[in-house]
Chains A and B, each alone.
Chain A
Amino acid sequence: MPAIEVHRLRKEFMVQKNREGLAGALRDLFKREYTRVVAVNDISFTIPRGEICGYIGENGAGKSTTIKMLTGILVPTSGDIRVNGFVPYKDREKFVRGIGVVFGQRSQLWWDIGVIESFHLLRKVYRVPPDAFKRRLDELTERLQLGDILNRPVRKLSLGQRMRCELAASLLHNPSILFLDEPTIGLDIVVKTEIREFLKEINREYNTTILLTTHDLQDIEALCSRVIMLDDGKIIYDGSLDELKARWGKGKEVVFRFAAPVRPERLAALTEGLGVEWMIENEYSAKMIIPRGEDALSAAISRVVGKLDIRDMTVSETNTDEIVREIYRSGSAAVTA
């Protein structure tokens, strides 16, 4: 049995329209108009046990809505979901015992009480036997270095400390599936790295299935063997990260710093006919992108260098960030190759 099975999952919201002006407001008072918004548009995927899967997409692409349906918070408009063998929104109370959830932007700990008190309350809520709880807590305390902060109230923790506590809280009942919605948002690089390492360990040792959404592609590179990319409610890519890079990432980019201000039209005119693209950072700096398969590197550079005064220049491969940005922009990862 796979950890997560989703078939033609769909979620629509009715959003209230506010008509303009006083007359509109009066009419709204008696008859509301609604617009139908499709947040998740008939998506299907399967995630086997033990996989770490990254779920990415722009803001508003439908990532969080999907996670909320998978965790039983939202009821789908149509389609089938099976997570851990359950239909999440139906057997909600039984189902949530087997999953852990972390929302990066919301705390699941009780604000006013000490961390350890929150943990004890969760132990009772999830009915974890005391000895199993103790073992689990000791292990999590050691791995996430919670020793010093267990007795502090949650509102006095830094974001990094809180996020480590949130992770511990979501794992106290030893769930087989862990959902992470932007777990590293706002964290510094040290904490991010620690959390990634921790998630990898948990996945290795307990074969925990992890589905995470993130805007930080380093999370994906560090953790995920598989990426599902969402745009406008539809899956536009589902496959390995390596493949994504291989197909999209062969392009090179050259960053120029100019001695004098340069207008974008000038740059475009310089490299006309070579099939390169320009991204203007400011009037002194611009990035030239040479698509994969275009053998125009030296021609393009010589044209620019020949006409303009260059202060600095770097050449690099496009990184994942850019690949993804490019896919978002075009709205499709349907590779023609």
Chain B
Amino acid sequence: MIGAYLDFVRLRFLTMLAYRVNYYSGIVIYAINIGAYYFIWNAVYGGSETLGGMTAAQMSSYVAVSWMARAFYFNNLDREIANEIRDGSVAIQMIRPYQYLAVKMMQGFGEGCFRLLMFSVPGMIVAALLFPVDFPDDPARWLWFAVMLLLSFFINSEINLLTGLFAFFVENNEGMIRMKRVAVDLFSGLVIPLSFFPGWAETALKLLPFQAITYLPGSVFTGTLQGGAIAQAAAVQLFWMVALLAPLALVWRSARRRLFVQGG
């Protein structure tokens, strides 16, 4: 059965590869974003050494790595699920002996792997040529970052699955999908690192799962977090990955009872 789940990763990867031309435009968009944020932050720093606990060099690395990490953990599982519910093809998913949400997660993972290889890695190299990006020189830090990136993927995908499943309860959850996307980009620290928020907001955001998606792995990569704080950050991610399973299971259970299939 594990074999079947792995096949969903492989198939999605191959499908993405077949449609890779769609992604060339994405590379440009990401490059523009990184460039824009780089120049904005340069202006914000002006002459100052450090702001919000980050040096200007750390900030440019943070911007680059956050966007490239986003390419990996980002997926449209919420919209895919909403569409399958709306057009009724979710019925087909229910007659197969597998866990629908697990399959979706694996498909998202296949997509993430594709983007990581075809997009993030080359993109990071290009970004390093254009902007001053400091790569960690400690292999252990790389390892931590890799593990945390994977956890980011799971947390973000769990949030996506939850958002997608709301299509069972409302006629159209498009608005919710968009709201979620903005919330993730803003609250995860992609647009502004958490340490730049006012104190009360930072405290509030640290109680939410979003920071575990971008801010924590980004801070490990740039070296803002050191020593024991790294393991602690990974533990927070792990906590959210497990904690989000509970609402997911609950929503799925009540969604099963609510399910009705459009078109007959």
Taking a contact as CB atoms under 8 Å apart, the answer to whether B89 and A113 are in contact is no
Residue total for B at the interface (Cβ-Cβ under 8 A): 27
Which residues of chain B in 87-107 are interfacial with respect to chain A, using CB atoms and an 8 Å cutoff? 88-89, 91-92, 94-99
Q: Which residue of A lies closest to B95 (CB)?
A: A101
User: What separation, in Å, do the CA atoms of A97 and B98 have in the docked complex?
Assistant: 10
Are A121 and B4 in contact, with the CB atoms below 8 A?
yes
CA distance in complex: A121, B110 (Å): 15
Could you mark each residue 95-115 of chain A with 1 if its beta carbon is under 8 Å from any beta carbon of chain B, else 0? 011010101011110101100
Report the Cα distance A125→B259, complex, angstroms: 23
Known: A73-B259, A112-B18. A97 touches B97 (CB 8 A): yes
Q: If the complex has contacts A103-B92, A121-B7, A124-B4, are A93 and B98 also in contact, measured as CB distance less than 8 A?
A: yes
Indicate if A72 sits at the interface (CB-CB under 8 A).
Answer: yes
Provide the bound-state CA to CA distance between A56 and B96, in Å.
Answer: 25
Contacts of B261 in A (CB 8 A): 64, 68, 73-74
- Indicate whether A152 reaches chain B with its CB closer than 8 angstroms: no
B244-264 Cβ-contact flags toward A at 8 Å (1 or 0)? 000000000000110111011
Tell me if B232 is interfacial: C-beta within 8 Å of chain A: no
Asked if B46 is an interface residue, CB under 8 A from chain A, the answer is: no
Q: Contact mask A72-89 → B, CB, 8 Å, 1/0?
A: 111100000000000001
A13 on the interface (CB 8 Å rule)? yes
Q: Using Cβ atoms and an 8 Å threshold, which residues of chain B touch A68?
A: 91, 261
Separation of A74 and B259 alpha carbons in the complex (Å)? 7
Q: Known A13-B260, A75-B259, A89-B256; judge A121-B95 contact (CB<8 A).
A: no
Chain A interface size, under 10 / 10 to 19 / 20 to 34 / 35 or more: 20 to 34
Contact B263 A125 (CB under 8 A): no
Cross-chain contact of B98 among A89, A107, A117, A125 (Cβ < 8 A)? A125
- A315 CA / B3 CA spacing, docked (Å): 63
CA gap between A96 and B11 in the complex, in Å:
23
A16 in the interface, Cβ–Cβ < 8 Å? yes
A71 at the A/B interface (Cβ < 8 Å)? Answer: yes
Beta-carbon contact of A96 and B259 below 8 Å: no
Q: Is the CB of A105 within 8 A of B95?
A: no
- The chain A residues found within 8 Å of chain B, CB to CB, are 13, 16, 59, 64, 68, 71-75, 89, 92-94, 96-97, 99, 101, 103, 105-108, 110, 112-113, 117, 121, 124-127, 181
- Chain B residues packing against A (C-beta within 8 Å): 1, 3-4, 7-8, 11, 14-15, 18, 88-89, 91-92, 94-99, 171, 256-257, 259-261, 263-264
Q: List 11 A-B contacts (CB under 8 A).
A: A73-B91, A73-B94, A74-B260, A93-B99, A96-B95, A96-B96, A106-B88, A112-B18, A113-B15, A117-B11, A121-B4
Since A105-B264, A108-B92 are in contact, a sample of 6 more A-B pairs with Cβ atoms closer than 8 Å, ordered by chain A residue number, is A92-B94, A101-B95, A103-B92, A105-B263, A124-B1, A125-B98
